Structure 1
Amino acid sequence: MTLFDLEPLPSMPDIELVRTSVPLSSVLEHSFPAGPLSRIGEHESWRKEVHRPATSTHKWWAKRLGSVFRGILVSAVCGEDEDAMALYESACRFDGLTVFDPFAGSGTTVVEAAKLGARVIGYDINPVATLVQRQAVQQWDIAELQRAYKLIEESCRPEIDRVHRAETGETVLYYFWVALALCPNPLCGKDVRLFSTHIFSKNAYPKRVPDAQIVCPICLDIIAGRYDFTSATCRNGHQVTSDGAVSRATVKCINCGTLTKVLDALNDHPPRYEMYAKLVLGKDGKKRYEPITDYDIALYGECTALLKENASTLVLPSGRLDDGENTRQALRWGFTEWRHFFNDRQLYSLGLLATALRELEAGPAEREALIALFSGTLEFNNMFCSFKGEGTGAVRHMFSHHVLKPERTPLEAHPWGTPASSGSFSTLFKSRLIRAHEYKSEPADQILRGNKVERVHGLSLPVEATITNACPSDGFSSRQIYLRTGDSSNTDLPDESVDLVITDPPYMDNVHYSELADFFYVWLRELEPFPECSKTSLAEDKPGELITTRSSNEVQSASPDAFEAAITRVWQECHRVLKSNGLLAFTFHQARLTGWVALARALAKAGFVVTAVQPVKGEMTTSVTKGGVEPSNLDAVVVCRKRATVTGGAVFTDPYAAANEGETRLSELMASGVSVGAGDIRSVIRGYVLATYTTDPQRQDIDEIAQLADELATERIAKLSAS
């Protein structure tokens, strides 16, 4: 048995569509069914955590659509004259095919390839990403998982519940806080509450349900009103309007009228906060808003004392934030330490929960799952969260903007929670872990029936597998997946051992995943869930500095030169491990022309030729990371082969013909009902035209091609927008 031999596939009835090789010319390169896959993907994008729960156990950024990646995989092994959608909707099996994802992220490729029976290898340089992937495919003993959960509950829930109670003994679901700034006027010097509006709670559909809650900025009385109120009077006789003291970046003192910048008023220190309201779950099961009382203030003070008293025994985050693209805003607000992201009650409660996990005796897979669940809970339980309102999930998690954005009116949630809670350890146990377990045991897929997307079982193999974090020299057993935290430009895979490289690489932008992932890692490293990473293994080149998930080898930069250099190294490694007839396919979109230029140059340097660019539904309809004047709805599936194996007729050679092909593909998507905007057209046409550079990079000027790509993209925007 060689390294990549497989044991026979598990016997499955009525499976005739078995694929054992990659064709010389595939549907992915010719007649990719982007229309139906985009419609299925659109349906999935609204509830990815429901339709693909295995990859939704923990936050990771730019999580791709499982249905689209299933479509990419089956199209890659489908001959150009075959029906890829028929294969997509079948119990297709990959027998002996090896799929490698060098940027495995949340594990979309890993899961979809495993469902098809492929040999699966996932690499990612960030250990938090690897932890997410492991939960996506790790086999759990559900009885052991539930037993371990109960042990955690018995250990810490009573105390967490106690410090989240009203004086009536009822549970407080949420505490509402407001940041304070000192008026710079020496004749005033009073605190200003940084409200931008005095409506702190309203329904997600206010015209349908107009009820709202209003806070008095002077005495913090709570007033029941409407979302469109203009003026109200609190019980203490103060007149309240909807506008708060803050307008954009400026704050106006309500006492003396002095204007100043919010950041100037903070004086380089984290803001002080004040509780002003709470949402209580009554004994009758109804929720009610109440003002903060002396009891609430005393209870919070007790948490401060308990945190100080138990600081040496509790698991707590440590270390300072490093400067970076996505930490700079928090640093400007004075958040220099990771502890600053939490108030004292949050640190005490989360510390109790983390300490219980550290001391938990349970199966290693089940313990790791609960540690990952705790890490995911952090996203909803910190002072960078805010209130979404009634009629929806109450907690707006801290990464809703994909940056570390401080909140002037943060929301403190009950971290253990109740069935009426949002984003708590107990509710996420059911909605994330239990749902993921059910999916991994019996995966469901979405298929298109007429105009309706249906959910079906029986097409895919169970996802659950044994995970190895080292490449075995004597071959893999059946249902075994190789997941590795490491640099994808330097793998331990043998030469020409991979049939398909399917991935979603980082783009050339300002979102640095490692800078955001450190928020989780400073807690996780104290619990050591990573099988191959010690507390020091990630900081060998930074002795004495804070351990971080940042790496000098990560592909993450807003600089075209740095992005090109980093991704070239990974594409070169993919070229080494890919078989001569193998395919490299990845999803990509880029608002800046320089990003496409860097990508084309990198592929050419690595020895790849682009054989197709297929526009298809992207991550979600509107993404903050894709924001701006031309937000993107589509990804481009860039398909490549090794240059030495490609014949001239299989590639783009003429920029104008390439632009025409891109226009045709986009028109087909539009005709199938897929939304295509100016940003989509610009990105896709640029990709098509720049693909011509990879055919013969020694004889072409990429700057000239890039200029032409921009001109042709602008032309196609005008043409397609008018059609």
Structure 2
Amino acid sequence: MTLDVATGTQLRFAEYLTDLSSVPETQTSLIESWFPARALSQVIAKDRRVRDSAYAAHRWWARRPPALLRALLLATALPCGVAEEEFWERYASEEPHLLGKTVYDPFMGGGSTLVEAQRLGASVMGSDVDPMSVRIVKSELAPVKGEKLREYGKLLLAYLQSNFSRLYPSETGASPLHYFSIAEVQCPACAEDGPLYRNLVLVRDPKKVGAVVRDHALTVFCPACWKLHYLDSPDRKVLLCCDRRFKIAEGTYRAGAYHCPSCGLTSTHRDLKTGVAKRRIVAVEETKANGRRNLRMPSEEDESVQLRSAREWASQRDFLPHPKGEIRATRSDERPRSYGINAYEDLFTHRQLLVLGHALKWIEENVPEPDFRAALELAVSNSLSTNNKLCGYATDYGRLSALFSVRGYSLPALTVELNPLHETGGRGTIAACIERVAKSDAAKVRRHVWDIQSRRPVPNLFTFSRNFGSSSVSLKNAASASAPEAIEKIDVAVFDPPYFDFIAYDELSEFHRAWFGELDLAGEPLLPKAGNPVESFGMQLGTSLREMVKRARGSNPFAFTYHSANPDAWKAVGVALDFAELAVTRLWPVRSDGHMGHHSNPGNCEWDVIVVCRPKRGTANHALEETPERWVAEMKPLNVNDADVRNFTFALEMAKTRFARVL
């Protein structure tokens, strides 16, 4: 067997296989003896820019790379002894290699494990406590026909255009695309009102590939008279207006606080309640017939639309779908309540509420087929993250920055409202979101595979079929017991449990669920409790693992991905494995989460540790010889940062006393 590892590692794997030579191959899986960790890490890196339409219908906040899950599913189901060449042939093949098997994911989240298992021919079962997860995964596993959905979409958009294009007026014939606004806040000390802004720049033409081409290098505003200025030099430092000099790169909001121009007091968003402060429209970005964009000052009609929308919403609110409920005060993230926003309805402008509410009302009354109705609702739900009060703007590239682009409730100083009815442009319009759902039925996906000869990732066009196994998706807490007679048996369990150092995704999904009256979860999310975080998290996870063991048939191990540079997180995993009476039979490092841009942080883990485990019965304790240093050496030239060295160290420490081999 040829291994994609260094020579020394080959020898150690050979010794390991020799130790298992007396064990029938059918009792161990490939992943317990070999896994292409370094090669797969490179495939994952190449796939980062790949657009897989199956996952594009609706945003989910935590997805393991599809390449990782496809490899895990194969390596868990294949027997020990399969050669590297055969593994990669199966990986690149469109054949249903898991036909006849049932794959289970008790923490399905965005559904990537189940989609990849379905593409491999398996029947799939999954559950999650979050109703939004269930909506998304059902759509992924059984997408509607794209062409018919587009026809419904055209009817919906025609209705919205005929009734609500008046809310986005234009005096020039150009189509409004974005409305730029800033908050006008009151200083708590001197009670003076003032604009909150980081700098004077609205848009910039950086002459970069992918950026919007503009007629001027900079468009800025005067904070005294609100006039727009179109500057041809990108290097201008000072704006002269109103007989004053304003530094273009400076504003009243810096270092996370508002600096009152009158008295100099610094105030936070919490002090100012910025989220509910009055907002001033400073510019409207329009698209011309030739596709070029320009910024203009707001007209009187733009201002009056705001007042008319408020009156219309007040008169129609009671019979239109809209987000219901207060934002919980007991949250892991105090935002957006710290901005002064206490109800989900307050996260939207009145015209956003009108358009989105009427869209959902039209779908309810005009789409009789439940699956197409659900698909259109999913499209409208996905558009919420680009149609709310907390959207920002990528100044250099000319793109709206959606809510949750950094997995939290951020409040940009310069907020941008999208025209959701725009027909040709704009990120996150209703038309664009419908098209994303329509494309999710595409069978062809270009992803990467590992080329044995060149030892590098190469593109591969997959044509995935969905005509194999069944699918079952349920709203359920993974830790809740099932009646023995109702337990469906599974062959393979691959999953990505919530992390100890968590982001509370249920608090983010609640933003969407509020529109559908689904604020309640199916159980308590798997999160550490303040009093005893290690024990509480470990026992919850262990209870879920025990439930999974009840469902297992055959001799395949379980595999899950995990990472943390916090030793308590790995201690909690140990508690879970002990409670479920599982032994660790293998660990593998895979670089699955290389960070970019504003997601980058020196403390972030970029490597997952794959934990392979099986019931202790039928195993015997065995020495774990792996070390963090070996892993780092084996993964060269791929970089391992300090956080991941700690991640590796704590994972191996957890596994050391729980490591076993199959008898």
Answer whether TM exceeds 0.5 for this pair.
yes
User: Equivalent of 2:634, from 641, 656, 668?
Assistant: 668
8 Å Cα contact 1:22/1:582 also seen in 2: no
Whichever residue aligns with residue 485 of structure 1, its letter is: L
- Identify the residue that residue 168 of structure 1 maps to in structure 2: 172
- Identify the residue that residue 4 of structure 2 maps to in structure 1: none
Q: 1:265 to 1:106 in 2, by over 3 A?
A: closer
Q: Give 1:62 shift.
A: 1.1
TM-score w.r.t. the length of structure 2 is 0.88
Q: 1:524 to 1:260 in 2, by over 3 A?
A: same
8 Å Cα contact 1:148/1:367 also seen in 2: no
TM-score w.r.t. the length of structure 1 is 0.81
User: Equivalent of 1:252, from 251, 259, 265?
Assistant: 259
Find the residue that maps to 1:122 and give its secondary structure: strand
- Give distance in 1, aligned partners of 2:296 and 2:197: 18
- Give distance in 1, aligned partners of 2:223 and 2:616: 67
- Identify the residue that residue 232 of structure 1 maps to in structure 2: 239
Whichever residue aligns with residue 125 of structure 2, its letter is: I
User: Equivalent of 2:309, from 299, 303, 314?
Assistant: 303
- Give distance in 1, aligned partners of 2:90 and 2:114: 19
User: Equivalent of 2:626, from 642, 652, 658?
Assistant: 658
Whichever residue aligns with residue 683 of structure 1, its letter is: N
User: Equivalent of 1:147, from 151, 157, 178?
Assistant: 151
Q: Give 1:266 shift.
A: 1.6
Q: Give 1:340 shift.
A: 1.2
Taking CA–CA contacts closer than 8 Å with sequence separation of 6 or more, which of the two structures ends up with the larger relative contact order? 2
Number of positions where the alignment pairs a residue of Structure 1 with one of Structure 2:
620
Q: Which moved more, 1:64-73 or 1:135-144?
A: 135-144
- Identify the residue that residue 121 of structure 2 maps to in structure 1: 117
Find the residue that maps to 1:377 and give its secondary structure: helix
Q: 1:400 to 1:205 in 2, by over 3 A?
A: farther
Q: 1:409 to 1:486 in 2, by over 3 A?
A: same
User: Equivalent of 1:519, from 501, 511, 528?
Assistant: 511
Q: 1:496 to 1:124 in 2, by over 3 A?
A: closer
- Identify the residue that residue 85 of structure 1 maps to in structure 2: 88
- Identify the residue that residue 54 of structure 1 maps to in structure 2: 54
- Identify the residue that residue 75 of structure 2 maps to in structure 1: 75
- Identify the residue that residue 448 of structure 1 maps to in structure 2: 450
- Give distance in 2, aligned partners of 1:343 and 1:585: 45
- Is 1:693 aligned with 2:661? no
- Identify the residue that residue 41 of structure 1 maps to in structure 2: 44
Q: Deviations over 1:166-218 (max 9, x none)?
A: 223432100011112112344xx332111011112225667998922212111
- Is 1:221 aligned with 2:227? yes
- Give distance in 1, aligned partners of 2:271 and 2:329: 22
8 Å Cα contact 2:477/2:523 also seen in 1: no
Q: Give 1:689 shift.
A: 2.2
- Give distance in 2, aligned partners of 1:404 and 1:580: 45
- Identify the residue that residue 499 of structure 2 maps to in structure 1: 507
- Identify the residue that residue 415 of structure 1 maps to in structure 2: 420
Q: 1:79 to 1:624 in 2, by over 3 A?
A: farther
Q: 1:557 to 1:503 in 2, by over 3 A?
A: farther
Whichever residue aligns with residue 472 of structure 2, its letter is: Y
Q: 1:205 to 1:22 in 2, by over 3 A?
A: farther
- Identify the residue that residue 369 of structure 1 maps to in structure 2: 375
8 Å Cα contact 1:144/1:363 also seen in 2: no
Describe how 1:130-529 pairs up with structure 2 within 5 A.
Answer: 130-186=134-190, 189-203=191-205, 211-225=217-231, 226-234=233-241, 236-241=242-247, 242-254=249-261, 256-263=262-269, 265-266=271-272, 270-391=276-397, 394-430=399-435, 432-438=436-442, 441-449=443-451, 450=454, 451-458=456-463, 460=464, 462-463=465-466, 479-489=469-479, 490-491=481-482, 497-525=489-517
Q: Deviations over 1:546-597 (max 9, x none)?
A: x433742545667333322221111111121122512110111112110011
Q: 1:107 to 1:556 in 2, by over 3 A?
A: farther
Find the residue that maps to 2:648 and give its secondary structure: helix
Whichever residue aligns with residue 618 of structure 1, its letter is: S
Q: Give 1:359 shift.
A: 1.7
Q: Give 1:390 shift.
A: 4.4
Q: 1:647 to 1:580 in 2, by over 3 A?
A: farther
- Give distance in 2, aligned partners of 1:500 and 1:37: 20
Name structure 1 gaps, 5 residues minimum: 1-20, 466-477, 526-534, 536-546, 697-723
8 Å Cα contact 2:202/2:221 also seen in 1: yes
Q: 1:565 to 1:437 in 2, by over 3 A?
A: same
- Give distance in 2, aligned partners of 1:332 and 1:213: 32
Name structure 2 gaps, 5 residues minimum: 1-23
Find the residue that maps to 2:555 and give its secondary structure: strand
8 Å Cα contact 1:508/1:557 also seen in 2: no
Q: 1:403 to 1:264 in 2, by over 3 A?
A: closer
Whichever residue aligns with residue 437 of structure 2, its letter is: L
Q: 1:616 to 1:203 in 2, by over 3 A?
A: farther
User: Equivalent of 2:570, from 590, 596, 601?
Assistant: 596
- Give distance in 1, aligned partners of 2:370 and 2:515: 18
Find the residue that maps to 1:370 and give its secondary structure: helix
Whichever residue aligns with residue 549 of structure 1, its letter is: L
Whichever residue aligns with residue 341 of structure 2, its letter is: F
Find the residue that maps to 2:319 and give its secondary structure: coil
- Is 1:552 aligned with 2:529? no
User: Equivalent of 1:583, from 557, 573, 579?
Assistant: 557
Q: Give 1:227 shift.
A: 4.9
- Give distance in 2, aligned partners of 1:550 and 1:218: 52
Find the residue that maps to 1:421 and give its secondary structure: coil
Q: Give 1:429 shift.
A: 2.2
- Identify the residue that residue 684 of structure 1 maps to in structure 2: 648
Find the residue that maps to 2:657 and give its secondary structure: helix
Identity score, percent: 21
Q: Give 1:279 shift.
A: 0.2
- Identify the residue that residue 713 of structure 1 maps to in structure 2: none
Q: Give 1:154 shift.
A: 2.4
8 Å Cα contact 1:163/1:299 also seen in 2: yes
Whichever residue aligns with residue 300 of structure 2, its letter is: D
Q: 1:204 to 1:488 in 2, by over 3 A?
A: farther
Whichever residue aligns with residue 107 of structure 1, its letter is: G
Find the residue that maps to 2:336 and give its secondary structure: helix
Q: Give 1:237 shift.
A: 4.2
Q: Give 1:46 shift.
A: 3.0
- Give distance in 2, aligned partners of 1:206 and 1:623: 16
Q: Give 1:643 shift.
A: 0.7
Q: 1:100 to 1:267 in 2, by over 3 A?
A: closer
Q: Give 1:514 shift.
A: 1.0
Q: Which moved more, 1:445-454 or 1:674-683?
A: 445-454
